[in-house]
Structure 1
């Protein structure tokens, strides 16, 4: 199951920036690797350190004005969830699945995809794009096109 935070407002960005700075100060002082304790509106909350690190990352991305999506790695995604993650149409994702570019399994008539397989495909695709752009920039420089 995926949880999303769409592009944060300017106010959310400001609050996220202050919050991540405070969390980093707190987490930098403690040596405890297992949990951190916060007091929120009079209630004490114990949070595992790894969850605090994830929260720091979410707040950092929000402070930069970016959307954030968290996907549980133990769950399987539907084709629509996977398409939403990759920001492609569901029919395009189905073509990627059927051509073997992304592994999947069928549960009845439904296709299910592991989040790590979607993330791996996304990482490989991003790397290919980066290399292609680097090559184009290099060629433009060699041709003296002012890039």
Structure 2
């Protein structure tokens, strides 16, 4: 499921978002408890999990800055296309990662299924490797006096 906030936000929407994020931050940073947050709306109470409130806070913060927001949900087990979309690579590239053992998978009939946790682990590992490589290249460039 993909949820998108409209690309064009009005200044009024941005102001409301900025005010709301300020209020939410005072609620979330003021307490250490993981208890749900209770909102009162037109005489009705709604209990919202704290993690959902933190997500809402981040969405409103982006909206306040006029940025587009997109939220995507994934199942614990996903198709190769969903996993490829999450990693922002092509499906054939993802299949190569699976077949070379870089990301574990299982077969369900003729289809490959990948666990979200495994895709995230691969992504984190890849990001760390890239960061180390870039740091090494930057050090070498500085040592060689290339102006980086």
TM-score tier by shorter-chain length is: 0.7 to 0.9
Identify the range of structure 1 (28-37 vs 63-72) with the bigger mean alpha-carbon deviation: 63-72
Aligned length: 145
TM-score by length of 1: 0.79
Query: How far is 1:16 from its partner?
Result: 4.3
What residue is the counterpart of 2:88 in the other structure? 87
Distance 1:114 1:146 in 2: 43
Q: Distance in 1 between matches of 2:35 and 2:52?
A: 10
**Would the alpha carbon gap of residues 142 and 41 (structure 1) be closer, same or farther in structure 2, given more than 3 Å must change?**
farther
With over 3 angstroms needed to count, the CA separation of the structure-2 counterparts of 1:132 and 1:66, relative to structure 1, is: farther
CA deviation profile, 1:71-119 (whole Å, cap 9, x unmatched) = 45x6211111100000000111011111110011111111111111111
TM, length-normalised to structure 2: 0.78
CA contact 1:17–1:60 (8 Å) conserved in 2: yes
Q: CA RMSD in A?
A: 2.9
Give the 5 Å matches for 1:38-49: 38-40=39-41, 43-49=44-50
Q: Which residue pairs with 1:26 in the alignment?
A: 27
Structure 2 residues without counterparts, runs of 5 or longer = none
Cα offset for 1:4? 4.9
